[in-house]
């Protein structure tokens, strides 16, 4: 019973890949600053970049921000990645800037991040192409897709994964990582062969590790390994693209096929877009799944209520019943658990934006 209850809860968490932004980084030029914003510039040339990387790699990014916020307020200056930045944890300012993206702000990430995602990664582009790719990304999680393809794949992946847990001690983060990768690889690339998924998994570990490493392409460093993994991942995606093009008489119900048949995009754009989607869809969901278990463990009352709700579904529909969209919508407390997990979890720790004009708000 407990295994089935956990299964149902995890299935719903896999449906969501949205991260909540707790910090917004706003790049601004010195020209136009009407008021000097207090902060710390750190060491000459390197600023506070090393401190930031150390806090990120140790999982203490919030501590890095909180220490400076306590000293300088919710909007403060720093020096990161070779340039002066403004860091804002102010809700009203962040909301205003994000709502005016394209008019007042645009994406502006450090070169090391851009090199990893490529020039066509979603966070690295602006303008019409960004709007087009964002619309395509949203189409992946349309209600109809969630009702059918996602629900069926999630049910199979979670059940098959849980069946291997019996009598074993598991590393939850690793297992959630595997489940999510299987789902994303199936939905985006149409991959079901465990060997191909394991190949991507091995490369993916080095690729994601590069984001927590200084951007130095020195052999043996985390960033150099990540850059090599990126090249191999892009090569693999190009191979899949060529396979799809050659199989004109075979029906494929995956995202890469839709990109090739329904949209006029160059192969390079498709490959780098898929690499970004693989990263974005996987990282956020797997982290949310792990944190949901932690939060429920810390709150036995909520865990018991979730078990009761999932248990009622099992009792009513049977242990082998496949969840439907109607089942999901009827489980109100399960939805509350998902929403509260996304509210509490620091899934997407920050966004980087460059202001296109002076911003006058909050007395700055």
Q: Which residue has the tokens 């990120």?
A: 56
For tokens 């921000």, what's the residue?
65
CB 24 within 8 A of CB 351: yes
Alpha-carbon distance of 116 to 359, in angstroms, equals 30
**107 phi and psi angles, rounded to 5 deg:** -60, 140
Rounded distance between C-alpha atoms, residue 30 and residue 32, angstroms: 6
CA atoms within 13 A on the CB side of 215: 15
3-state secondary structure of 202: helix
Distance, in Å, from the CA atom of 78 to the CA atom of 64, rounded to the nearest integer, reads 11
363 pLDDT band, cuts 50/70/90, is: low
Q: Which residue ranges form the domains of the chain, and what is each CATH number?
A: 21-124+348-355 (no CATH), 135-298 (1.10.630.10)
Strand order in the sheet with 75-80: 75-80, 83-88, 21-27, 348-355, 105-107
- Beta strands at 21-27 and 348-355: parallel, antiparallel or unpaired: parallel
Cβ(180)–Cβ(290) below 8 Å: no
Question: Which whole number is the average pLDDT over 232-256?
Answer: 82
Could you tell me which of 155, 153, 133, 134 has the C-alpha nearest to residue 145? 153
20 and 351 Cβ atoms separated by less than 8 Å:
no
pLDDT in tens, 36-58: 788 888 888 788 888 887 777 66
**pLDDT, tens only, 329-354:** 888 999 999 888 888 776 666 777 88
pTM: 0.74
Q: What is the pLDDT of residues 109-155, one digit of tens each?
A: 778 888 888 888 777 777 788 788 888 887 776 766 667 777 888 88
CB 11 within 8 A of CB 335: no
26 pLDDT above the threshold of 60:
no
């Amino acid at each position: 019973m407990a295994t089935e209850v956990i299964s149902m809860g995890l299935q719903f968490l896999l449906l969501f890949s949205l991260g909540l932004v707790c910090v917004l980084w706003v790049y601004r030029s010195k020209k136009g600053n009407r008021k000097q914003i207090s902060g710390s510039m750190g060491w000459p040339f390197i600023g506070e970049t090393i401190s930031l990387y150390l806090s990120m790699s140790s999982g203490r990014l919030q501590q890095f921000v909180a220490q400076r916020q306590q000293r300088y307020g919710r909007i403060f200056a720093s020096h990161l990645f070779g340039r002066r930045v403004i860091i804002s944890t102010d809700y009203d300012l962040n909301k205003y800037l994000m709502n005016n993206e394209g008019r007042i702000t645009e994406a502006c990430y450090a070169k090391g991040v851009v090199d990893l995602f490529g020039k066509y990664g979603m966070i690295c582009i602006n303008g019409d192409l960004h709007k087009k790719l964002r619309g395509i990304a949203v189409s992946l999680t349309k209600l109809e897709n969630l009702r059918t393809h996602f629900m069926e794949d999630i049910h199979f992946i979670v059940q098959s994964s849980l069946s291997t847990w019996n009598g074993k001690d598991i590393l939850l983060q690793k297992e959630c990582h595997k489940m999510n990768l299987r789902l994303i690889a199936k939905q985006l690339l149409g991959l079901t062969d465990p060997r191909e998924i394991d190949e991507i998994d091995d490369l993916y570990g080095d690729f994601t590790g590069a984001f927590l490493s200084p951007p130095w392409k020195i052999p043996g460093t985390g960033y150099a390994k990540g850059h090599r993994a990126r090249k191999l991942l892009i090569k693999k995606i190009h191979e899949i693209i060529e396979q799809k093009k050659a199989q004109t008489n075979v029906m494929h119900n995956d995202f890469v096929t839709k990109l090739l048949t329904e949209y006029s995009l160059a192969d390079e754009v498709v490959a780098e877009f898929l690499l970004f989607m693989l990263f974005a869809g996987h990282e956020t969901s797997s982290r949310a799944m792990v944190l949901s278990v932690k939060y429920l463990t810390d709150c036995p009352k909520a865990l018991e209520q979730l078990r009761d709700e999932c248990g009622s579904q099992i009792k009513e529909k049977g242990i082998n019943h496949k969840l439907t969209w109607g089942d999901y919508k009827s489980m109100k407390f399960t939805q509350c658990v998902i929403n509260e997990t996304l509210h509490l979890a620091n899934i997407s720790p920050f966004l980087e934006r460059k202001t296109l004009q002076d911003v006058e708000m909050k007395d700055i």
